[in-house]
Amino acid sequence: MECTSISLQEFKRWALLDENTGREYEFINGVIIEASPGRTSNSEIGHRIAFAVRLFCRENNLPCHTSGGESSAMSSCRISLINPHP
C-alpha cells in the first residue's frame, strides 16, 4: 500500500467533514491514521508490552525507559484531532 503525504491544512479540512464526526484521526508525518477508540483492553496491550520490555532489560542489566500513553519522546510529528461536531 502506498501512502501519500498531505499538508496539515488539508488534514484539518478533511478531518472536520461531517462524515468524520465522532471519529478520531492522527496526522503522523503527513499521513492520516484512524485512531482506535480508547478501551481498557487496548491500553492493557501497551502495559503488557512495557512490562515485558522492562523485565527483559532488568534481567539483562540494560538501561530502559518506558512511557504510559502518549510519549513526548516520539520521533515522528503526531497530531490528534477529534471532529467535535455532534
Q: Give the chain's mean pLDDT.
A: 74
The confidence score (pLDDT) of residue 28 equals 81
Residue 33: burial class (beta carbons within 10 Å; 0-12, 13-18, 19+) = middle
pTM of the model: 0.45
How many C-beta atoms surround the C-beta of residue 27 within 10 A? Answer: 21
